[in-house]
Chain A
Amino acid sequence: MNWLNRPASETQITHGQRLWLYILATVIMILLVAPTVIVIPMSFSASQYLEFPPREWSLRWYEHYLNSPEWIQATWTSLKAGFFTMCVATPIGTAAAYGLFVTKHPLSRMFYVLLITPIMIPVILIAIAAFYVFVQIRMVNSMFGLVIAHSILALPLVLIVISAALKSFDMNLEMAARSLGASRFTAFMDVTLPQIRFSVLTAALLSFLTSFDEVIVAMFVSGGDNSTLTRNMFNALRDQIDPTIASISTIMIVISSSLLILTQLFRKSRD
Protein backbone atom coordinates (compact mmCIF):
# COMPACT_ATOMS: atom_id res chain seq x y z
CA MET A 1 0.00 0.00 0.00
CA ASN A 2 3.00 2.18 -0.61
CA TRP A 3 1.30 3.81 -3.62
CA LEU A 4 -1.50 5.19 -1.45
CA ASN A 5 0.92 7.32 0.56
CA ARG A 6 2.80 8.63 -2.43
CA PRO A 7 2.11 12.21 -3.50
CA ALA A 8 -0.28 12.33 -6.47
CA SER A 9 0.39 15.86 -7.67
CA GLU A 10 2.39 19.01 -7.04
CA THR A 11 0.20 19.82 -4.05
CA GLN A 12 1.53 16.78 -2.16
CA ILE A 13 -1.92 15.25 -1.86
CA THR A 14 -1.51 11.48 -1.61
CA HIS A 15 -3.20 8.87 -3.74
CA GLY A 16 -4.85 7.61 -0.56
CA GLN A 17 -6.52 10.96 0.07
CA ARG A 18 -7.72 10.92 -3.51
CA LEU A 19 -9.13 7.40 -3.41
CA TRP A 20 -12.71 8.71 -3.35
CA LEU A 21 -12.08 10.60 -6.59
CA TYR A 22 -10.68 7.49 -8.29
CA ILE A 23 -13.68 5.41 -7.20
CA LEU A 24 -16.18 8.09 -8.22
CA ALA A 25 -14.56 8.60 -11.63
CA THR A 26 -14.45 4.83 -12.25
CA VAL A 27 -18.16 4.53 -11.47
CA ILE A 28 -18.95 7.41 -13.85
CA MET A 29 -16.82 5.90 -16.61
CA ILE A 30 -18.59 2.55 -16.21
CA LEU A 31 -21.96 4.29 -16.36
CA LEU A 32 -20.88 6.07 -19.54
CA VAL A 33 -19.97 2.90 -21.40
CA ALA A 34 -22.12 0.15 -19.86
CA PRO A 35 -25.56 1.09 -21.24
CA THR A 36 -24.29 1.01 -24.80
CA VAL A 37 -22.25 -2.16 -24.40
CA ILE A 38 -24.99 -4.10 -22.63
CA VAL A 39 -27.17 -4.00 -25.76
CA ILE A 40 -24.65 -6.20 -27.58
CA PRO A 41 -25.16 -9.48 -25.63
CA MET A 42 -28.89 -8.82 -25.44
CA SER A 43 -29.11 -8.80 -29.22
CA PHE A 44 -27.97 -12.45 -29.32
CA SER A 45 -30.90 -13.62 -27.24
CA ALA A 46 -33.22 -16.33 -28.51
CA SER A 47 -36.16 -14.99 -26.57
CA GLN A 48 -38.93 -12.69 -27.67
CA TYR A 49 -37.98 -10.38 -24.80
CA LEU A 50 -34.73 -8.62 -24.16
CA GLU A 51 -32.79 -10.45 -21.46
CA PHE A 52 -29.45 -9.98 -19.85
CA PRO A 53 -27.69 -12.29 -19.78
CA PRO A 54 -29.72 -14.16 -22.41
CA ARG A 55 -30.86 -17.60 -21.23
CA GLU A 56 -30.40 -18.96 -24.71
CA TRP A 57 -28.15 -17.59 -27.42
CA SER A 58 -29.13 -17.30 -31.06
CA LEU A 59 -28.74 -15.22 -34.17
CA ARG A 60 -32.51 -15.09 -34.60
CA TRP A 61 -32.79 -11.30 -34.52
CA TYR A 62 -29.92 -10.85 -36.94
CA GLU A 63 -31.65 -13.23 -39.35
CA HIS A 64 -34.83 -11.27 -38.89
CA TYR A 65 -32.94 -8.12 -39.79
CA LEU A 66 -31.15 -9.60 -42.79
CA ASN A 67 -34.35 -11.14 -44.14
CA SER A 68 -36.30 -7.92 -43.96
CA PRO A 69 -36.18 -6.01 -47.26
CA GLU A 70 -37.23 -2.76 -45.54
CA TRP A 71 -34.38 -2.84 -43.01
CA ILE A 72 -31.83 -3.76 -45.66
CA GLN A 73 -32.99 -1.01 -47.96
CA ALA A 74 -32.89 1.49 -45.09
CA THR A 75 -29.36 0.37 -44.24
CA TRP A 76 -28.26 0.95 -47.83
CA THR A 77 -29.91 4.37 -47.84
CA SER A 78 -28.08 5.35 -44.66
CA LEU A 79 -24.74 4.06 -45.92
CA LYS A 80 -25.18 5.87 -49.22
CA ALA A 81 -26.30 9.10 -47.55
CA GLY A 82 -23.33 8.92 -45.18
CA PHE A 83 -20.89 8.29 -48.02
CA PHE A 84 -22.22 11.11 -50.22
CA THR A 85 -22.36 13.51 -47.26
CA MET A 86 -18.72 12.69 -46.60
CA CYS A 87 -17.89 13.34 -50.27
CA VAL A 88 -19.65 16.70 -50.21
CA ALA A 89 -18.83 18.07 -46.77
CA THR A 90 -15.14 17.11 -46.58
CA PRO A 91 -13.84 18.89 -49.71
CA ILE A 92 -15.98 22.02 -49.46
CA GLY A 93 -15.40 22.20 -45.70
CA THR A 94 -11.64 21.76 -46.08
CA ALA A 95 -11.48 24.38 -48.84
CA ALA A 96 -13.49 26.80 -46.69
CA ALA A 97 -11.36 26.15 -43.60
CA TYR A 98 -8.16 26.73 -45.58
CA GLY A 99 -9.41 29.85 -47.36
CA LEU A 100 -10.77 31.44 -44.21
CA PHE A 101 -7.65 30.53 -42.25
CA VAL A 102 -5.14 31.98 -44.70
CA THR A 103 -6.96 35.12 -45.80
CA LYS A 104 -6.77 38.26 -43.71
CA HIS A 105 -9.99 39.55 -45.18
CA PRO A 106 -12.22 41.20 -42.55
CA LEU A 107 -15.19 39.08 -43.67
CA SER A 108 -13.49 35.77 -42.87
CA ARG A 109 -14.45 35.88 -39.19
CA MET A 110 -18.13 36.40 -40.06
CA PHE A 111 -18.10 33.59 -42.63
CA TYR A 112 -16.53 31.23 -40.12
CA VAL A 113 -19.30 31.93 -37.62
CA LEU A 114 -21.92 31.45 -40.36
CA LEU A 115 -20.49 28.05 -41.28
CA ILE A 116 -20.42 26.97 -37.61
CA THR A 117 -24.05 27.93 -36.87
CA PRO A 118 -25.64 24.65 -38.06
CA ILE A 119 -24.37 22.86 -34.94
CA MET A 120 -25.44 25.63 -32.61
CA ILE A 121 -29.04 26.20 -33.66
CA PRO A 122 -31.70 23.55 -32.96
CA VAL A 123 -31.65 20.81 -35.60
CA ILE A 124 -35.44 20.78 -35.75
CA LEU A 125 -35.31 24.23 -37.32
CA ILE A 126 -32.93 23.12 -40.06
CA ALA A 127 -35.12 20.05 -40.57
CA ILE A 128 -38.43 21.86 -41.03
CA ALA A 129 -36.85 24.68 -43.05
CA ALA A 130 -35.28 22.19 -45.48
CA PHE A 131 -38.52 20.18 -45.54
CA TYR A 132 -40.54 23.26 -46.41
CA VAL A 133 -38.26 24.17 -49.32
CA PHE A 134 -37.98 20.58 -50.55
CA VAL A 135 -41.78 20.32 -50.64
CA GLN A 136 -41.93 23.37 -52.91
CA ILE A 137 -39.34 22.05 -55.33
CA ARG A 138 -40.45 18.38 -55.07
CA MET A 139 -37.24 17.14 -53.53
CA VAL A 140 -38.73 15.44 -50.47
CA ASN A 141 -37.69 11.78 -50.14
CA SER A 142 -34.84 12.29 -52.59
CA MET A 143 -31.29 11.21 -51.85
CA PHE A 144 -29.93 14.53 -53.11
CA GLY A 145 -32.02 16.56 -50.68
CA LEU A 146 -31.06 14.33 -47.75
CA VAL A 147 -27.35 14.53 -48.57
CA ILE A 148 -27.34 18.30 -49.01
CA ALA A 149 -29.19 18.81 -45.69
CA HIS A 150 -26.84 16.41 -43.89
CA SER A 151 -23.81 18.14 -45.42
CA ILE A 152 -24.79 21.36 -43.69
CA LEU A 153 -24.80 19.56 -40.36
CA ALA A 154 -21.40 18.01 -41.09
CA LEU A 155 -19.72 21.23 -42.32
CA PRO A 156 -19.13 22.76 -38.85
CA LEU A 157 -17.33 19.61 -37.69
CA VAL A 158 -15.10 19.56 -40.78
CA LEU A 159 -14.36 23.24 -40.28
CA ILE A 160 -13.47 22.84 -36.59
CA VAL A 161 -11.23 19.82 -37.16
CA ILE A 162 -9.38 21.30 -40.17
CA SER A 163 -8.97 24.76 -38.61
CA ALA A 164 -7.44 23.17 -35.52
CA ALA A 165 -5.04 21.21 -37.73
CA LEU A 166 -4.05 24.31 -39.71
CA LYS A 167 -3.35 26.18 -36.49
CA SER A 168 -0.70 23.65 -35.52
CA PHE A 169 0.71 23.55 -39.07
CA ASP A 170 3.68 25.81 -39.83
CA MET A 171 2.51 28.02 -42.71
CA ASN A 172 6.13 28.94 -43.45
CA LEU A 173 6.51 25.52 -45.07
CA GLU A 174 3.94 26.49 -47.67
CA MET A 175 5.65 29.85 -48.11
CA ALA A 176 8.94 28.04 -48.73
CA ALA A 177 7.34 25.88 -51.42
CA ARG A 178 5.85 28.92 -53.09
CA SER A 179 9.10 30.87 -53.00
CA LEU A 180 10.64 27.88 -54.80
CA GLY A 181 8.13 28.39 -57.60
CA ALA A 182 5.12 26.25 -56.65
CA SER A 183 1.70 27.75 -57.22
CA ARG A 184 -0.57 28.08 -54.23
CA PHE A 185 -2.52 25.03 -55.38
CA THR A 186 0.59 22.88 -55.86
CA ALA A 187 1.98 24.07 -52.55
CA PHE A 188 -1.27 23.13 -50.81
CA MET A 189 -1.50 19.70 -52.46
CA ASP A 190 2.19 18.78 -52.02
CA VAL A 191 3.08 20.43 -48.71
CA THR A 192 0.06 21.38 -46.60
CA LEU A 193 -2.37 18.57 -47.38
CA PRO A 194 0.06 15.72 -46.56
CA GLN A 195 0.72 17.43 -43.21
CA ILE A 196 -2.95 17.66 -42.26
CA ARG A 197 -4.08 14.43 -43.94
CA PHE A 198 -5.05 12.65 -40.71
CA SER A 199 -7.25 15.55 -39.70
CA VAL A 200 -8.89 15.47 -43.13
CA LEU A 201 -9.57 11.74 -42.67
CA THR A 202 -10.99 12.39 -39.20
CA ALA A 203 -13.20 15.11 -40.64
CA ALA A 204 -14.37 12.71 -43.37
CA LEU A 205 -15.28 10.01 -40.85
CA LEU A 206 -17.09 12.56 -38.69
CA SER A 207 -19.14 13.71 -41.69
CA PHE A 208 -20.06 10.12 -42.49
CA LEU A 209 -21.19 9.49 -38.91
CA THR A 210 -23.08 12.78 -38.71
CA SER A 211 -25.25 11.67 -41.59
CA PHE A 212 -25.41 7.98 -40.63
CA ASP A 213 -26.60 8.72 -37.06
CA GLU A 214 -28.86 11.66 -37.84
CA VAL A 215 -32.57 11.26 -36.97
CA ILE A 216 -34.46 14.55 -37.08
CA VAL A 217 -33.61 15.83 -40.56
CA ALA A 218 -34.02 12.31 -41.93
CA MET A 219 -37.44 12.08 -40.30
CA PHE A 220 -38.65 15.02 -42.35
CA VAL A 221 -36.80 14.91 -45.67
CA SER A 222 -36.31 11.15 -46.16
CA GLY A 223 -39.02 8.61 -46.76
CA GLY A 224 -40.39 5.98 -49.09
CA ASP A 225 -37.58 4.07 -50.76
CA ASN A 226 -35.11 6.54 -49.32
CA SER A 227 -36.00 6.08 -45.63
CA THR A 228 -32.89 5.99 -43.51
CA LEU A 229 -32.08 3.34 -40.93
CA THR A 230 -32.39 5.81 -38.04
CA ARG A 231 -35.76 7.03 -39.27
CA ASN A 232 -37.13 3.49 -39.34
CA MET A 233 -35.57 2.71 -35.95
CA PHE A 234 -37.13 5.79 -34.39
CA ASN A 235 -40.54 4.90 -35.76
CA ALA A 236 -40.18 1.31 -34.56
CA LEU A 237 -39.14 2.52 -31.08
CA ARG A 238 -42.32 4.50 -30.67
CA ASP A 239 -44.41 1.36 -31.25
CA GLN A 240 -42.63 -1.40 -29.35
CA ILE A 241 -39.25 -2.57 -28.16
CA ASP A 242 -38.44 -5.09 -30.87
CA PRO A 243 -35.26 -7.11 -30.29
CA THR A 244 -34.45 -6.56 -33.97
CA ILE A 245 -33.55 -3.01 -32.94
CA ALA A 246 -30.99 -4.46 -30.53
CA SER A 247 -29.27 -6.29 -33.37
CA ILE A 248 -29.28 -3.18 -35.57
CA SER A 249 -27.98 -1.14 -32.63
CA THR A 250 -25.15 -3.63 -32.22
CA ILE A 251 -24.20 -3.23 -35.86
CA MET A 252 -24.25 0.56 -35.48
CA ILE A 253 -22.12 0.36 -32.31
CA VAL A 254 -19.58 -1.78 -34.16
CA ILE A 255 -19.46 0.72 -37.04
CA SER A 256 -19.01 3.79 -34.85
CA SER A 257 -16.49 2.22 -32.49
CA SER A 258 -14.35 0.96 -35.38
CA LEU A 259 -14.39 4.47 -36.85
CA LEU A 260 -13.40 5.83 -33.43
CA ILE A 261 -10.50 3.38 -33.24
CA LEU A 262 -9.44 4.47 -36.74
CA THR A 263 -9.28 8.13 -35.71
CA GLN A 264 -7.29 7.22 -32.60
CA LEU A 265 -4.82 5.37 -34.82
CA PHE A 266 -4.62 8.48 -37.02
CA ARG A 267 -3.74 10.52 -33.95
CA LYS A 268 -1.07 8.04 -32.91
CA SER A 269 0.61 8.15 -36.29
CA ARG A 270 0.50 11.93 -36.28
CA ASP A 271 2.23 12.29 -32.91
Chain B
Amino acid sequence: MSIGSEARANETVLLKQSRREEWALLGLASPAILTVLIVMVLPVGWLFYLSFLADDGSFSLEHYNRMLESKAYGRIFMTTFEVSFLTTGLCILIGYPLAYFLSQLSPRMAALCMLTVLLPFWTSLLVRTYAWLVLLQRKGLINSWAIDLGLWDEPLKLVHNLNGTLIGMVHIMLPFLVLPLYGSMKAISADYLKASSNLGAGPSQTFWNIFFPLSLPGLFAGALIVFVLCLGFFVTPAVLGGGKVIMVSMQITSNIELFFNWGAASALGVVLLVITLAILLAASRLLKLDNVLGGGH
Protein backbone atom coordinates (compact mmCIF):
# COMPACT_ATOMS: atom_id res chain seq x y z
CA MET B 1 0.00 0.00 0.00
CA SER B 2 1.35 3.40 -0.90
CA ILE B 3 1.66 6.21 1.62
CA GLY B 4 -0.82 8.29 -0.35
CA SER B 5 -3.68 5.82 -0.13
CA GLU B 6 -3.03 5.26 3.58
CA ALA B 7 -3.25 8.97 4.22
CA ARG B 8 -6.45 9.10 2.25
CA ALA B 9 -7.90 6.23 4.29
CA ASN B 10 -6.97 8.06 7.48
CA GLU B 11 -8.59 11.17 6.16
CA THR B 12 -11.89 9.39 5.53
CA VAL B 13 -11.87 7.92 9.03
CA LEU B 14 -11.15 11.31 10.57
CA LEU B 15 -13.84 12.94 8.48
CA LYS B 16 -16.32 10.28 9.51
CA GLN B 17 -15.39 10.73 13.16
CA SER B 18 -15.71 14.49 13.08
CA ARG B 19 -19.04 14.21 11.31
CA ARG B 20 -20.25 11.78 13.97
CA GLU B 21 -19.13 14.21 16.65
CA GLU B 22 -20.98 17.09 14.96
CA TRP B 23 -24.17 15.05 15.18
CA ALA B 24 -23.48 14.05 18.77
CA LEU B 25 -23.03 17.70 19.72
CA LEU B 26 -26.21 18.61 17.93
CA GLY B 27 -27.84 15.74 19.82
CA LEU B 28 -27.06 17.56 23.09
CA ALA B 29 -29.56 20.19 22.00
CA SER B 30 -32.23 17.64 21.17
CA PRO B 31 -34.02 17.51 24.57
CA ALA B 32 -34.48 21.29 24.49
CA ILE B 33 -35.49 21.31 20.84
CA LEU B 34 -37.96 18.46 21.28
CA THR B 35 -39.58 20.20 24.26
CA VAL B 36 -39.99 23.43 22.32
CA LEU B 37 -41.32 21.57 19.28
CA ILE B 38 -43.84 19.53 21.25
CA VAL B 39 -45.05 22.17 23.68
CA MET B 40 -44.83 25.27 21.49
CA VAL B 41 -44.36 24.77 17.76
CA LEU B 42 -46.85 21.93 17.19
CA PRO B 43 -49.62 23.45 19.37
CA VAL B 44 -49.20 26.86 17.71
CA GLY B 45 -49.42 25.09 14.36
CA TRP B 46 -52.61 23.46 15.58
CA LEU B 47 -54.03 26.88 16.47
CA PHE B 48 -53.10 28.07 13.00
CA TYR B 49 -55.19 25.20 11.60
CA LEU B 50 -58.09 25.98 13.97
CA SER B 51 -58.18 29.59 12.81
CA PHE B 52 -59.24 28.43 9.34
CA LEU B 53 -62.12 26.30 10.58
CA ALA B 54 -65.71 27.52 10.70
CA ASP B 55 -67.95 26.54 13.61
CA ASP B 56 -69.28 23.55 11.68
CA GLY B 57 -65.77 22.27 11.02
CA SER B 58 -65.45 23.25 7.36
CA PHE B 59 -62.59 25.29 5.96
CA SER B 60 -63.34 29.01 5.90
CA LEU B 61 -61.83 32.43 6.30
CA GLU B 62 -64.73 33.70 8.41
CA HIS B 63 -62.61 34.50 11.47
CA TYR B 64 -60.25 36.58 9.38
CA ASN B 65 -63.09 38.24 7.49
CA ARG B 66 -64.77 39.18 10.74
CA MET B 67 -61.51 40.69 11.93
CA LEU B 68 -61.29 42.86 8.81
CA GLU B 69 -64.95 43.92 8.89
CA SER B 70 -65.59 44.40 12.60
CA LYS B 71 -64.86 47.89 13.91
CA ALA B 72 -64.27 46.49 17.40
CA TYR B 73 -61.36 44.37 16.24
CA GLY B 74 -59.91 47.29 14.29
CA ARG B 75 -60.04 49.38 17.43
CA ILE B 76 -58.28 46.66 19.43
CA PHE B 77 -55.40 46.53 16.96
CA MET B 78 -55.22 50.33 16.90
CA THR B 79 -55.07 50.41 20.70
CA THR B 80 -52.37 47.75 20.75
CA PHE B 81 -50.20 49.69 18.31
CA GLU B 82 -50.90 53.01 20.00
CA VAL B 83 -49.93 51.70 23.44
CA SER B 84 -46.83 49.98 22.05
CA PHE B 85 -45.67 53.08 20.15
CA LEU B 86 -46.26 55.43 23.06
CA THR B 87 -44.53 53.09 25.52
CA THR B 88 -41.54 52.67 23.21
CA GLY B 89 -41.30 56.43 22.62
CA LEU B 90 -41.47 57.26 26.32
CA CYS B 91 -38.93 54.53 27.11
CA ILE B 92 -36.51 56.08 24.60
CA LEU B 93 -36.99 59.58 26.03
CA ILE B 94 -36.45 58.41 29.60
CA GLY B 95 -34.04 55.55 28.97
CA TYR B 96 -31.50 57.32 26.77
CA PRO B 97 -30.39 59.90 29.36
CA LEU B 98 -30.29 57.19 32.03
CA ALA B 99 -28.18 54.81 29.90
CA TYR B 100 -25.89 57.72 28.96
CA PHE B 101 -25.48 58.67 32.61
CA LEU B 102 -24.68 55.05 33.56
CA SER B 103 -22.15 54.72 30.72
CA GLN B 104 -20.22 57.76 32.00
CA LEU B 105 -19.74 56.47 35.55
CA SER B 106 -16.78 54.66 37.02
CA PRO B 107 -17.23 50.86 37.00
CA ARG B 108 -17.95 50.77 40.74
CA MET B 109 -20.57 53.54 40.64
CA ALA B 110 -22.08 52.11 37.46
CA ALA B 111 -22.52 48.70 39.10
CA LEU B 112 -24.23 50.37 42.07
CA CYS B 113 -26.56 52.51 39.96
CA MET B 114 -27.23 49.57 37.67
CA LEU B 115 -28.91 47.86 40.63
CA THR B 116 -31.73 50.40 40.35
CA VAL B 117 -32.33 49.13 36.81
CA LEU B 118 -31.89 45.45 37.71
CA LEU B 119 -34.08 45.45 40.82
CA PRO B 120 -37.29 46.23 38.92
CA PHE B 121 -36.12 43.88 36.16
CA TRP B 122 -36.01 41.04 38.67
CA THR B 123 -39.15 41.95 40.59
CA SER B 124 -42.36 40.25 39.53
CA LEU B 125 -44.27 42.15 36.86
CA LEU B 126 -47.46 41.56 38.80
CA VAL B 127 -46.00 43.07 41.96
CA ARG B 128 -44.90 46.18 40.09
CA THR B 129 -48.27 46.53 38.41
CA TYR B 130 -49.93 46.19 41.81
CA ALA B 131 -47.60 48.85 43.25
CA TRP B 132 -48.65 51.32 40.55
CA LEU B 133 -52.30 50.52 41.17
CA VAL B 134 -51.80 51.36 44.84
CA LEU B 135 -49.93 54.58 44.06
CA LEU B 136 -52.18 55.89 41.31
CA GLN B 137 -55.68 55.06 42.55
CA ARG B 138 -58.20 57.74 43.53
CA LYS B 139 -57.22 57.79 47.19
CA GLY B 140 -53.72 56.63 46.39
CA LEU B 141 -50.44 58.09 47.49
CA ILE B 142 -49.86 60.35 44.49
CA ASN B 143 -53.31 61.94 44.62
CA SER B 144 -53.22 62.46 48.38
CA TRP B 145 -49.70 63.94 48.33
CA ALA B 146 -50.49 66.20 45.39
CA ILE B 147 -53.63 67.49 47.13
CA ASP B 148 -51.72 68.04 50.37
CA LEU B 149 -49.08 69.99 48.45
CA GLY B 150 -51.77 71.92 46.58
CA LEU B 151 -50.76 70.71 43.13
CA TRP B 152 -54.36 69.86 42.29
CA ASP B 153 -57.61 70.13 44.29
CA GLU B 154 -59.63 67.14 43.11
CA PRO B 155 -58.25 63.60 42.98
CA LEU B 156 -57.18 63.03 39.36
CA LYS B 157 -58.08 59.89 37.48
CA LEU B 158 -54.60 58.44 37.08
CA VAL B 159 -55.43 54.79 36.76
CA HIS B 160 -58.02 52.57 35.05
CA ASN B 161 -57.29 54.42 31.80
CA LEU B 162 -54.61 54.87 29.16
CA ASN B 163 -52.42 57.06 31.40
CA GLY B 164 -52.17 54.46 34.12
CA THR B 165 -51.45 51.72 31.59
CA LEU B 166 -48.67 53.77 30.03
CA ILE B 167 -47.08 54.64 33.37
CA GLY B 168 -47.01 50.99 34.38
CA MET B 169 -45.77 49.73 31.04
CA VAL B 170 -42.98 52.30 30.70
CA HIS B 171 -41.81 51.38 34.20
CA ILE B 172 -41.81 47.68 33.33
CA MET B 173 -40.21 48.06 29.89
CA LEU B 174 -37.49 50.58 30.74
CA PRO B 175 -34.83 48.00 31.74
CA PHE B 176 -35.31 46.23 28.37
CA LEU B 177 -34.28 49.46 26.65
CA VAL B 178 -31.57 50.57 29.07
CA LEU B 179 -29.63 47.28 29.22
CA PRO B 180 -28.82 46.85 25.47
CA LEU B 181 -28.38 50.60 25.04
CA TYR B 182 -25.92 50.73 27.93
CA GLY B 183 -24.01 47.83 26.39
CA SER B 184 -23.64 49.57 23.06
CA MET B 185 -22.65 52.86 24.72
CA LYS B 186 -19.93 51.12 26.72
CA ALA B 187 -18.58 49.64 23.46
CA ILE B 188 -17.95 53.10 21.95
CA SER B 189 -14.22 53.70 22.02
CA ALA B 190 -13.16 56.79 23.95
CA ASP B 191 -10.54 57.42 21.26
CA TYR B 192 -13.19 58.65 18.84
CA LEU B 193 -14.40 61.19 21.38
CA LYS B 194 -10.83 62.28 22.16
CA ALA B 195 -10.07 62.61 18.46
CA SER B 196 -13.19 64.69 17.97
CA SER B 197 -12.37 67.15 20.73
CA ASN B 198 -8.75 67.19 19.62
CA LEU B 199 -9.99 68.43 16.27
CA GLY B 200 -11.76 71.30 18.00
CA ALA B 201 -15.32 70.06 18.49
CA GLY B 202 -17.19 71.21 21.58
CA PRO B 203 -18.74 68.67 23.97
CA SER B 204 -22.23 68.88 22.46
CA GLN B 205 -20.84 68.72 18.91
CA THR B 206 -18.88 65.60 19.82
CA PHE B 207 -21.96 64.07 21.41
CA TRP B 208 -24.29 64.67 18.47
CA ASN B 209 -21.82 63.92 15.67
CA ILE B 210 -19.86 61.04 17.18
CA PHE B 211 -21.42 59.48 20.28
CA PHE B 212 -25.10 59.60 19.35
CA PRO B 213 -24.78 57.97 15.88
CA LEU B 214 -22.58 55.23 17.36
CA SER B 215 -25.15 54.49 20.05
CA LEU B 216 -28.02 54.15 17.57
CA PRO B 217 -27.71 50.37 16.96
CA GLY B 218 -28.14 49.74 20.69
CA LEU B 219 -31.05 52.17 20.80
CA PHE B 220 -32.79 50.46 17.87
CA ALA B 221 -32.23 47.03 19.38
CA GLY B 222 -33.65 48.13 22.75
CA ALA B 223 -36.61 49.92 21.17
CA LEU B 224 -37.35 46.86 19.06
CA ILE B 225 -37.40 44.56 22.09
CA VAL B 226 -39.68 46.99 23.96
CA PHE B 227 -42.07 47.36 21.02
CA VAL B 228 -42.36 43.64 20.34
CA LEU B 229 -42.90 42.81 24.02
CA CYS B 230 -45.54 45.55 24.29
CA LEU B 231 -47.54 44.05 21.41
CA GLY B 232 -48.22 40.94 23.46
CA PHE B 233 -48.77 42.64 26.81
CA PHE B 234 -51.55 41.41 28.98
CA VAL B 235 -51.25 41.82 32.75
CA THR B 236 -50.49 45.53 33.05
CA PRO B 237 -53.21 46.82 30.69
CA ALA B 238 -55.68 44.37 32.24
CA VAL B 239 -55.04 45.67 35.75
CA LEU B 240 -54.22 49.35 35.14
CA GLY B 241 -56.41 49.88 32.09
CA GLY B 242 -59.63 49.23 33.96
CA GLY B 243 -61.34 47.75 30.89
CA LYS B 244 -60.74 50.92 28.85
CA VAL B 245 -57.51 49.75 27.23
CA ILE B 246 -58.18 46.49 25.41
CA MET B 247 -55.18 44.95 23.71
CA VAL B 248 -55.06 41.96 21.38
CA SER B 249 -53.92 39.47 24.01
CA MET B 250 -56.78 40.52 26.31
CA GLN B 251 -59.29 39.94 23.51
CA ILE B 252 -57.78 36.50 22.90
CA THR B 253 -58.26 35.66 26.57
CA SER B 254 -61.88 36.77 26.67
CA ASN B 255 -62.61 34.92 23.42
CA ILE B 256 -61.55 31.74 25.18
CA GLU B 257 -62.61 32.34 28.79
CA LEU B 258 -65.98 33.95 28.07
CA PHE B 259 -67.03 32.76 24.63
CA PHE B 260 -65.11 29.49 24.21
CA ASN B 261 -64.47 30.65 20.66
CA TRP B 262 -61.21 28.94 19.78
CA GLY B 263 -61.40 29.83 16.11
CA ALA B 264 -61.61 33.58 16.72
CA ALA B 265 -58.96 33.44 19.44
CA SER B 266 -56.61 31.46 17.19
CA ALA B 267 -57.11 33.85 14.28
CA LEU B 268 -56.24 36.80 16.53
CA GLY B 269 -53.24 34.91 17.84
CA VAL B 270 -52.04 34.11 14.32
CA VAL B 271 -52.30 37.77 13.27
CA LEU B 272 -50.44 38.87 16.41
CA LEU B 273 -47.75 36.27 15.77
CA VAL B 274 -47.35 37.22 12.11
CA ILE B 275 -47.03 40.93 12.98
CA THR B 276 -44.44 40.16 15.67
CA LEU B 277 -42.39 37.86 13.44
CA ALA B 278 -42.56 40.30 10.51
CA ILE B 279 -41.20 43.11 12.67
CA LEU B 280 -38.44 40.88 14.06
CA LEU B 281 -37.51 39.63 10.59
CA ALA B 282 -37.42 43.11 9.08
CA ALA B 283 -35.35 44.33 12.00
CA SER B 284 -32.88 41.45 11.88
CA ARG B 285 -32.18 42.41 8.28
CA LEU B 286 -31.49 45.97 9.36
CA LEU B 287 -29.35 45.29 12.37
CA LYS B 288 -27.50 42.41 13.88
CA LEU B 289 -29.81 40.97 16.50
CA ASP B 290 -27.11 38.49 17.48
CA ASN B 291 -25.36 41.17 19.45
CA VAL B 292 -28.46 41.66 21.55
CA LEU B 293 -29.44 38.05 22.08
CA GLY B 294 -25.93 36.74 22.48
CA GLY B 295 -26.23 33.94 19.95
CA GLY B 296 -23.89 32.54 17.37
CA HIS B 297 -20.15 32.37 17.52
Residues of A within 8 A of B (CB): 8-13, 17-18, 21-22, 24-25, 28-29, 31-33, 35-36, 38-39, 42, 49-50, 52, 92-93, 95-96, 98-105, 107-109, 111-118, 120-126, 128-133, 148-149, 151-152, 155, 159-160, 163-164, 167, 184, 209, 212-213, 215-216, 219-220, 230, 233-234, 237-238, 241, 245-246, 249, 252-253, 256-257, 259-260, 264
- Find chain A residues with CB under 8 A from B280 CB: 120
Q: Which A residue's beta carbon lies closest to that of B275?
A: A122
- Find chain B residues with CB under 8 A from A219 CB: 253
- Most chain A beta-carbon contacts within 10 A, residue among B98, B100, B122, B262: B122
Main secondary structure of the interface of B (DSSP, over half): helix
B235 at interface (Cβ–Cβ under 8 A)? yes
In the complex with contacts A36-B131, A39-B130, A115-B36, A259-B269 CB distance below 8 A: no
CB pair A160–B130 under 8 Å, yes or no, is: no
B206 at interface (Cβ–Cβ under 8 A)? yes
15 A-B pairs with C-beta separation under 8 A = A36-B119, A36-B128, A96-B29, A96-B32, A99-B25, A111-B29, A112-B296, A115-B29, A125-B269, A130-B40, A215-B126, A245-B130, A249-B130, A260-B115, A260-B119
CB pair B39–A246 under 8 Å, yes or no, is: no
Of the 9-residue stretches B5-13, B52-60, B66-74, B132-140, which lies at the interface with chain A? Answer: B132-140
CB pair B119–A257 under 8 Å, yes or no, is: yes
Please report the total number of B residues contacting A with Cβ < 8 Å. 92
In the complex with contacts A129-B47, A133-B43, A246-B134, A124-B234 CB distance below 8 A: yes
Q: Which A residue's beta carbon lies closest to that of B132?
A: A35
CB pair B232–A109 under 8 Å, yes or no, is: no
The distance from the CB of A218 to the nearest CB of chain B, in whole angstroms, is: 10
Which among A107, A124, A129 is the interface contact of B26 at CB below 8 angstroms? A107
Which among B47, B201, B248 is the interface contact of A132 at CB below 8 angstroms? B47
Report B254-275 residues with CB < 8 Å from chain A CB.
256, 262, 265-266, 269, 272-273
Tell me the complex Cα distance, A129–B135, Å: 35
CB pair B26–A101 under 8 Å, yes or no, is: no
The distance from the CB of A244 to the nearest CB of chain B, in whole angstroms, is: 11
Tell me the complex Cα distance, A13–B100, Å: 14
CB pair B294–A114 under 8 Å, yes or no, is: no
CB pair A215–B125 under 8 Å, yes or no, is: yes
CB pair A164–B294 under 8 Å, yes or no, is: yes
Tell me the complex Cα distance, A18–B203, Å: 11
CB pair A163–B294 under 8 Å, yes or no, is: yes
CB pair A125–B39 under 8 Å, yes or no, is: no
CB pair A28–B40 under 8 Å, yes or no, is: no
The distance from the CB of B215 to the nearest CB of chain A, in whole angstroms, is: 14
- Find chain B residues with CB under 8 A from A96 CB: 28-29, 31-33
Tell me the complex Cα distance, A230–B126, Å: 7
Tell me the complex Cα distance, A243–B237, Å: 21
CB pair A132–B196 under 8 Å, yes or no, is: no
Tell me the complex Cα distance, A118–B38, Å: 13
- Find chain B residues with CB under 8 A from A123 CB: 232, 234, 249
CB pair A238–B101 under 8 Å, yes or no, is: no
B295 at interface (Cβ–Cβ under 8 A)? yes
**B167-202 vs A, Cβ < 8 Å mask (1 yes, 0 no):** 000010010000000000000001001101100011
CB pair B135–A103 under 8 Å, yes or no, is: no
CB pair B134–A42 under 8 Å, yes or no, is: yes
B146 at interface (Cβ–Cβ under 8 A)? no
Tell me the complex Cα distance, A238–B129, Å: 12
Tell me the complex Cα distance, A111–B29, Å: 8
B231 at interface (Cβ–Cβ under 8 A)? yes
Tell me the complex Cα distance, A80–B130, Å: 24
**B202-235 vs A, Cβ < 8 Å mask (1 yes, 0 no):** 1100110000000000000000000010011011
